[in-house]
Structure 1
Amino acid sequence: MKITKGTIIRTLMLVVVILNMALKQAGKDVLNVSESEIGELIENLISLAIVLVGFWKNNSFSEKAKQADAFLKDLKESEE
């Protein structure tokens, strides 16, 4: 089951409304955030997550990944 972007935005807007109500009750300033701003924030966070995952997956940081790279290098050298 896939959660749509609209569902996420509407859920976050509900959280913003609840926060605004709580802030009003406490006599504090209200948050002025539009649905498009939340949508843009979500898109930016997803983009950042994709970049970080792609970078992590395509570079050898863990010890096992470094060992696998060395093994692959040895295989290529033995074929030549």
Structure 2
Amino acid sequence: MNAHTYNAPTISAGTIARTACLLLALTNQVLSALGKPILPIESQTVEQLVTAGITTVAALVAWWKNNSFTPAALQADQTYDKLKAQGK
């Protein structure tokens, strides 16, 4: 066994949560447009406003945050965190 262990970077819980919220919002938006919303709200206008709001917020948060999925991006995040902790 090698004396040096490699800690493979993992996708953060925040990235998974933001991605899940965005997928739910987009799915609801599409299904709402097709007349089959996930969120059963009586008034169609209120439903469309709520759905559009959820989609907008989820999209902005997902776009703003750094969502690293690839091994290279995850490794870069680890390197960045180490340098940031060192004050560089």
Looking at CA atoms only, which structure, 1 or 2, has the larger radius of gyration? 1
TM range (shorter): 0.3 to 0.5
Structure with higher RCO (Cα < 8 A, 6+ apart): 2
- Which structure features the higher share of helix residues? 1
What TM-score comes out, normalization by structure 2 length?
A: 0.37
What TM-score comes out, normalization by structure 1 length?
A: 0.40
